[in-house]
Structure 1
Amino acid sequence: MIGHLPLDEQLAALKSTLSRNEVLLEVLNRMAVLELPGWYLTAGCLFQTVWNVATDRPSTSGIRDYDVLYFDDHDLSWEAEDAVIKTAAETFAELPADVEVRNEARVHLWYKQKFGVACAPFTSTEAAIDNFAATTCCLGVRLERDGQWRVYAPHGLSDVFNLVVRPNPVLAPREVYEIKTARWLRQWPELTVLDWPSESAAPAPASS
């Protein structure tokens, strides 16, 4: 199984697997032209493409959207982010998929209102990815100027290839994890979804 291969072979397998999703490749290529600071194509469209290929489904099956994150803390206004969103909308206008582009430097401004818990300002796109509700979601890919793939996977790739969903109780509430995993199980019943840890088992917040 790919999830038991050495990391360099898993990285090669990830690129090969994701390349079977033509929409995903088009998003990567078009985003590379936009050159947003610290951008990554991330989360669902990546690991769900892997799940689809692993379970012999069409590569785009069940993928709701393609999330692109970037990090620009020079202007935290909604107007600045909205200008980027509108430019991206024009870039992807003819693509048969919803592409959502968001500035992770602004997340702390709206996170508590949406999810009920406070979020400290992120310092990078990678830091934002670190806080996704499941470690399996903590995955980002982008194309560099030289055409090379840059992969950010702080928890590795084994769970992704092994169809294991593991909670990441560092920011997102338990409810977010359980809503997401319930939907994923309906689409990919082959998944192994691990339970959210009890309070006593949850890791303590990192000290400053």
Structure 2
Amino acid sequence: MMKILEAVRDLYLPDGWICAGFVRSKIWDTLHDFRKRTPLPDVDVIYFDEVNVDENEEKKREEQLRSMLPLVPCSVKNQARMHVANGVPPYASSVDAISKFPETATALGVKLGADGRVILAAPCGLDDVLQGVVRPTPFFRESEARLAVYKERILKKDWATTWDKLDIWVDIEKDSTSFLTP
């Protein structure tokens, strides 16, 4: 993990973070007593640059990461432009974008500070990820359309097959705090 964190730090991305599954899966692997890390399809890297929202810049950054980490598939996205693709109001920062990820357990980011210490962003808190709870973020609970996206993701990801101790919210209503698990 440190090698990946160092490589992303060395890109000097404005408001750059590694987020989502990179953090969440490590925690879930630990909760499930896995000795070996679950393979990730990719490492999600985000940043926030309102000045240069050209998608080609993201591709350039992915290429730079690929040269540093040839065996690690990475996705690099500028959150200053992703609101358009996601059909939502503009994000204020990378952490604001993280807060609007579909699941609270995925709404996490890490980066290395200037002193080499790991910095964690958890705008929706840590309780859910540490307790193995998967539920929509407040942002996704505000809209039926976003809840539908959340539910589709839950089915597609099939996390319970890999991490069988998870408590996954599957039957949820807009603005609801109640849930049923499979």
> Structures share a fold, TM > 0.5?
yes
- Cα–Cα, structure 1 residues 30 and 38, in superposed 2: closer, same or farther, change >3 Å? same
**2:163 partner letter:** W
User: 1:136 aligned to 2:105?
Assistant: yes
**1:82 partner letter:** K
Give the Cα separation in 2 of the matches to 1:152 and 1:179: 26
- Cα–Cα, structure 1 residues 178 and 73, in superposed 2: closer, same or farther, change >3 Å? same
- Cα–Cα, structure 1 residues 200 and 178, in superposed 2: closer, same or farther, change >3 Å? closer
Tell me if the contact between 1:42 and 1:140 (Cα under 8 Å) persists in the aligned partners. Answer: yes
Count of residues in correspondence between the two structures: 171
Q: How does 1:1-208 map to 2 (within 5 A)?
A: 24-93=1-70, 96-111=71-86, 118-171=87-140, 173-182=146-155, 183-195=158-170, 197-199=172-174, 201=176
Give the Cα separation in 2 of the matches to 1:85 and 1:188: 29
The structure with the greater share of residues assigned to helix is 1
Tell me if the contact between 2:15 and 2:48 (Cα under 8 Å) persists in the aligned partners. Answer: yes
- Cα–Cα, structure 1 residues 160 and 85, in superposed 2: closer, same or farther, change >3 Å? same
Tell me if the contact between 1:38 and 1:125 (Cα under 8 Å) persists in the aligned partners. Answer: yes
Question: How does the TM-score come out when normalised to structure 2?
Answer: 0.84
Tell me if the contact between 2:66 and 2:73 (Cα under 8 Å) persists in the aligned partners. Answer: no
Aligned residues with identical type, % of pairs: 29
Report deviation, 1:169: 4.8
Corresponding residue SS for 1:135: coil
Corresponding residue SS for 2:75: strand
Corresponding residue SS for 1:136: coil
Q: 5+ unaligned residues in a row in structure 2: which ranges?
A: 178-182
**1:178 partner letter:** K
Tell me if the contact between 1:66 and 1:98 (Cα under 8 Å) persists in the aligned partners. Answer: yes
1:94-150 deviation digits (Å, cap 9, x = unpaired): xx3312111111102322xxxxxx211112101100100011111111001111221
Give the Cα separation in 1 of the matches to 2:24 and 2:135: 13
Give the Cα separation in 1 of the matches to 2:147 and 2:175: 14
Tell me if the contact between 2:108 and 2:122 (Cα under 8 Å) persists in the aligned partners. Answer: yes
Give the Cα separation in 2 of the matches to 1:142 and 1:82: 20
Q: 5+ unaligned residues in a row in structure 1: which ranges?
A: 1-23, 112-117, 203-208
Tell me if the contact between 1:159 and 1:165 (Cα under 8 Å) persists in the aligned partners. Answer: yes
**1:197 partner letter:** I
Give the Cα separation in 2 of the matches to 1:133 and 1:144: 26
